[in-house]
Structure 1
């Protein structure tokens, strides 16, 4: 069992799909299957439950996943220390952010980072912004762009970039609830809302419901990922309280179908970079953190 084997295993843990992992990691499905079988033989337990419909990780598999993340992290740190050449950092940096943040906040930092550290390979993964802090805590990402939660976990450092304004987005075209929305005093109890599953935005929305005395909001759907929520508003499914930056970075065809009903409905929240404090001693992570700090201090 080597580092490559552990990377194959971790990728399969994320996809739970042998075909997708085999394709992404450039191995045949049979090779991947044999490698997982060898690992199961080595640990003496099944790591996945497999049938014709799905693949699920077992409890032992979760423990092996945590072990693999630790080993790869330590291997990467050692590699960074050994491969330092001509005072230039060499290695890999794993970043996580939402699709919106990849357009709105990441480019300026990455442009500067590549100038200073051209030999560092950037691995970027995108997903629900509400999962960013958890990705850092679980070592699935070295750093992440995140909205600051109401309670920042112990051991996590947060570098503020700025503030995110929340706006109420509504369909531009007439919908089944348009009459309720455009009353002098909107009938909020009977207007369908599309909500994020969790995260800083959801925390503020729940507080707003409480302030408006909306005890039983009409929820059309709860969705992971702000970008998908904007699309659902554009399709006329409901309204949504979301960060304005998400709308501003949505495709033009989507923006044409939505409008801002109101702003200043609630307090903005902080957005920035998060990292495990203990990992700021790692040279590559510290380099990205310090450059991010310098970049936003100038701005």
Structure 2
């Protein structure tokens, strides 16, 4: 089993979903499916049990998962052992959202490449809400994500930047924008229970949004959609499908910035802390520690 197949299989082990793994690995769903099928043919055993609603690992699948994790760890250790003492070499698996890849990571990676040309960065993108889980499960060495209120003791978090959480609304003339204007003009306040919301499926902002609903006395918010990733929320708001919460850094990045605007609230929403997270034990790996050090120099004192 080559390294590529190992990474595909470990991704499927974590997501238990071919589509999500394909998105994270920038592959087609058929390519992920073919990789799993080829591994099953080589082993002569099914690796996954599937039905219409769920997917789970078989006994053989769990055994192969453990083998693949050990194999990748051994390969990285061998590369470090064979590298010259004068030049740091190895590989760092890094996970972040698309927005973070160019708005937060870009200056870090530029400096890191110049300082450590012998270290390969394996960049994977997806919903930042998955960052903590991917690091805990060993799928990635480092992730750019939002700091949760309670950070597990096994994890190390390096703060890089802050971004306010905003309630974004469409700038285009649409039913949602007209509804907000009518409600505000009629009563001086918006009837939030009647406004369609686009909310995240999981993560730090989901917790904060649910808390905001409670403060507003909204027991059953009108949810237009639950989606993965703040970028998807901003895109759907720009299309006039509802209102949503997103970090300011996401609202102002990319090609949809002109399609949304932040709606001022009486009580400002909390600021979000963006940073690098890794297992504390992984900092013993020189390439991982080097990346953390470069990030700390690039973003001195964001708090």
Query: Structure 2 length as normaliser, TM-score?
Result: 0.83
Whether the 8 Å CA contact 1:16–1:56 is kept in 2: the answer is no
- For the residue of structure 2 that corresponds to 1:165, the secondary structure is strand
Query: Contact 1:97 / 1:132 at 8 angstroms: preserved in 2?
Result: yes
Equivalent-residue separation in structure 2 for 1:49 and 1:72 (angstroms) = 25
Rounded to whole Å, the distance in 2 between the matches of 1:151 and 1:47 is 35
Q: How many angstroms does 1:48 deviate by? A: 2.8
Could you state the TM-score of these two structures normalised by the residue count of structure 1?
A: 0.85
Shift of 1:143: 0.3
Counterpart secondary structure, 1:75: helix
Distance change in 2, residues 1:3/1:173 (3 Å): closer
Residues 1:291 and 2:290 are matched in the alignment: no
Match of 1:150 in 2: 149
**CA, structure 1 residues 149+59, in 2 after alignment: closer, same or farther (shift >3 Å)?**
farther
Aligned-residue offset at 1:64: 2.6
- Flag structure 2 segments of 5+ consecutive residues without an equivalent: none
1:284–1:195 CA distance, 2 compared to 1 (3 A): same
1:66 to 1:169, Cα distance in 2 relative to 1, 3 A: farther
- Compared CA separation, residues 214 and 91, structure 1 to 2 (3 A): same
* Partner SS, residue 158 of structure 2: strand
SS of match in other structure, 2:108: helix
Cα distance between partner residues in 1 of 2:287 and 2:213 = 43
Q: What displacement does 1:150 show?
A: 1.7
**1:74 has 2:77 as partner:** no
Could you say which residue in structure 2 is the equivalent of 1:197?
A: 201
**Matching residue of 1:215:** 219
**1:119-158 matched pairs, under 5 angstroms:** 119-158=118-157
Would you say 1:281 and 2:280 are equivalent positions? no
Structure 1's unaligned 5+ residue stretches are none
Give a deviation string over 1:24-70, Cα, whole Å, max 9, x none.
Answer: 8xx9x98974443223x3xxx4203479x999552332453244123
SS at match of 1:159: strand
Task: Quote the Cα distance in structure 1 between the aligned partners of 2:40 and 2:50.
Answer: 12
Query: CA-to-partner distance for each residue in 1:74-133, whole Å, 9 max, x for gaps?
Result: 3212321x2221511122211000011011110111011011101111111100011111
What is residue 244 of structure 1 aligned with on the other side?
248
Alignment partners' CA distance in 2, 1:109 and 1:219: 37
SS of residue in 1 equivalent to 2:273: strand
Partner of 1:118: 117
Contact 1:9–1:36 under 8 Å retained in 2: no
Q: What's the offset of the Cα at 1:158?
A: 0.4
